[in-house]
Amino acid sequence: MTFQEQILEGIPSVLPQPKPYESTINHAPKRKEILTDDEKKLALKNALRYFEPQHHAELIKEFSNELETYGRIYMYRLRPDYKMYARPLSEYPGKSDQAKAIMLMIQNNLDYAVAQHPHELITYGGNGAVFSNWAQYRLTMKYLAEMTNEQTLVMYSGHPMGLFPSHPEAPRVVVTNGMMIPNYSKPDDWERFNALGVTQYGQMTAGSYMYIGPQGIVHGTTITVLNAGRKIAKKGEDLAGKVFVTSGLGGMSGAQPKAGNIAGCITVCAEVNPKITHIRHSQGWINEVIENIDELILRVRKAQQNKEVVSIAYLGNVVDVWERFYDENIYIDLGSDQTSLHNPWAGGYYPAGISFEDANDMMANEPTLFKEKVQETLRRHAAAINKHTAKGTYFFDYGNAFLLESSRAGADVMAPNGIDFRYPSYVQDIMGPMCFDYGFGPFRWVCTSGNPDDLAKTDAIACQVLEEMMQTAPTEIQQQMADNIRWIKGAQENKLVVGSQARILYADAEGRTKIAEAFNQAIARGEIGYVVLGRDHHDVSGTDSPYRETSNIYDGSRFTADMAIHNVIGDSFRGATWVSIHNGGGVGWGEVINGGFGMVLDGTKEASKRLESMLFWDVNNGIARRSWARNEGAVFAIKRAMESQPLLKVTLPNFVDESLF
């Protein structure tokens, strides 16, 4: 069968032969044993409902074995035989170009070069899934291939509910992931309901089909490291010779070494998983891999002496790095962590002093002991960081729940008031006041032609727009503009593309709209193919996350989630091609609500109207909320937005004289 025929087949009437388990692929760890016998029976019933009854007797044994062996039913047998990657738009079957673009994005999320655990349909973060099983993938792709622009596909935590009548201006797909009743949103609830096959963790951009490989976080990490460096540097000093220590080389954290190189420092990034370490090295995201701690110490000293710009992966536990660097008196200038501590008991963080293989075995078979070892390691980790910060190291939490889980483990990470953490979130110190409050956030696009020339043309268009805007931009946002122009000019030489021909930069509503309109005009002129617009959920408006995206909201509302819900509702009727709303992305199940979108530009006047309406709302919804929280940068930004758009009328806060108290 051809690729198009396989897509249109959906779930095959004749079952494919079972597939061997490929040990060379990076697989998800076995999930903990959590279902009762009755619940296991229910999980099997739930899986078998995708198949005709004549197949049940054959599949029930196989699915039962998967559940016992891996803790989940992935339906490995149904993995397609074709290569998984983002093909040019023209290669997809279908009646709707918008639907074809969504198929392209789904396949990009599952590309072996992009996905963390491709056979388990997990893109990044240890459990950030596009789908829960391969039947869902096959059925979704079939629906998209059959869809017209008079229909909307409804996605229920990975499961395609079906095609419903709608209209051309409606979203083609509406996605929800993990939207639990609040009292059922604890970590073990995810384990149980995910094992039952009734919900999933979509992370931020995995379950919304908008992940573009590590590049998606490289830009934000570069901006963060640059500005963290500005906090510790003397005037006119750069990051040459300064040491940045962190950990994690997964789908998101793998961006750190590349960002460190762009920022111009020495990056030491620890990772316990050999496969992902060598994948990142082969992709060019890391310069060197070192497995011996003594060798690492010598190498870092040499790099400090020569003021090198180099990224080094240490294949081992980061706690050993923090502790030995202190003993050896190696000064750490910047420190952070990007392990998947939103998922601490299922592979997101590994205990020190135990091999990777033994830790995985303990995780599955002795989960209580594994949790104790993880918490013991977190206490050591925090204690070592505290020793370094006492010497002047600037440490920031990277929004991965490191400080949250460390506090729950009893580590010394609390401020004297017993409420706040002793170290700031990077959003509190950098991204919130400098970017999000002013409306700057991750604007993404994907060239659906798959042609690198199209990407180069869009880079040039975006750069030209930003340079023109900077000429009249107010002083408050000059630094943001300059950093992004620097980024886009170096995008090609830094070889940021993994998977689809995609790009990211930080822009405000004005910048996003002007760049998108310039793309749409270029499409209309036939200079480039269709473009998919999107963003990370980690943005101005899309995410309510009290320990990350909204951690610089100080009016007491940071634990509310109205903004994210407003965001996705508003995007859906203002022209988004697909919208998504998730529980759990970034910092953990039950800790955040986040929304995202995708928009297809096809060169039409209708696309111009949609992008202008939707992008303005998508950003200014969040600025309005941040302004109401009395964030001064956001007050400045929303006043500026009201001047540009007479129909915008936002309630502004009155500031209270502190002396009155």
622-632 tens-digit pLDDT: 999 999 999 99
Distance of CA 211 to the CA centre of its chain: 7
**Predicted pLDDT of residue 253:** 80
DSSP 183: G
What is the spatial distance between Cα 26 and Cα 576, in angstroms, rounded to a whole number? 34
Whether residue 106 contacts residue 140, with contact meaning beta carbons closer than 8 Å, is answered with: yes
**SS3 for 64?**
helix
CATH classification of 439-645, choosing from 1.10.357.10, 3.40.1770.10, 3.20.20.70, 3.40.50.2000? Answer: 3.40.1770.10
Residue 586 annotated as part of some ligand binding site: yes
pLDDT tens figures, 381-394: 999 999 999 999 99
Length of the chain: 661
Residue 318 has which token pair?
């980061």
pLDDT tens digit sequence for 534-555: 999 999 999 999 988 999 999 9
pLDDT of 10: 97
Residue 429 has pLDDT above 90, yes or no: no
- 474-481: which pairs have CB atoms within 8 A and are 24 or more residues apart? 474/640, 476/438, 476/633, 476/636, 477/438, 477/440, 477/508, 479/434, 480/434, 480/435, 480/438, 480/440, 480/506, 480/508
Q: Report strand pairing: 151-156 vs 159-165.
A: antiparallel
pLDDT surpassing 90 at residue 149: yes
643 marked as binding residue: no
Q: pTM of the prediction?
A: 0.89
Q: What is the DSSP string of 147-178?
A: --TTEEEEEETTEEEEEEE--TTS-SEEEEE-
Note the pLDDT of residue 637. Answer: 97
Separation between Cα atoms, residue 150 and residue 169, nearest integer Å: 9
Whether 141 shows a pLDDT value over 80: the answer reads yes
126 labelled as ligand-binding? Answer: yes
Contact 313, 290 (CB under 8 A): yes
Q: 100: which 2 tokens?
A: 């074809």
Positions of E strands within 525-626: 531-535, 543-544, 578-583, 593-601
Least confident of 287-301, 446-460, 581-595: 581-595
**pLDDT at residue 250 above 90?**
no
Of 234 and 469, the one with more pLDDT: 469
pLDDT of amino acid 310: 97
- The CA distance from 380 to 353, in Å, is 12
Are 134 and 106 within 8 A, CB to CB?
no
CATH of span 214-424: 3.40.50.10730
Task: Determine if residue 125 is labeled as part of a ligand binding site.
Answer: yes
Q: Alpha carbon of 336 to those of 66, 269, 321, 339, 389: distances in Å? A: 37, 10, 12, 10, 11
Give the Cβ contact number of residue 415 at 10 Å.
Answer: 10
> Which pLDDT band, with edges at 50, 70 and 90, does 493 fall under?
confident
User: In this structure, which amino acid lies at residue 495?
Assistant: K
* C-alpha closest to that of 503 among 443, 460, 461: 443
**CB-based contact 44:64 (threshold 8 Å):** yes
Domain residue spans in the chain?
Answer: 3-84+93-196, 214-424, 439-645
The pLDDT of residue 499 is above 80: yes
Give CA separation, 509 vs 459, 574, 605, 613, 632, in Å. Answer: 18, 15, 19, 11, 18
Q: How confident is the model at residue 5 (pLDDT cuts 50, 70, 90)?
A: very high
d(CA 155, CA 194): 15
pLDDT tens, residue by residue, 152-190: 999 999 999 999 999 999 999 999 999 999 999 998 999
Residue 252 has pLDDT above 90, yes or no: no
Q: Burial of 417 by CB count in 10 Å (0-12 exposed, 13-18 middle, 19+ buried)? A: exposed
Please tell me the distance from the alpha carbon of residue 240 to that of residue 263, in angstroms, as a whole number.
Answer: 9
Per the DSSP assignment, residues forming a β-bridge with 335 are 245, 395
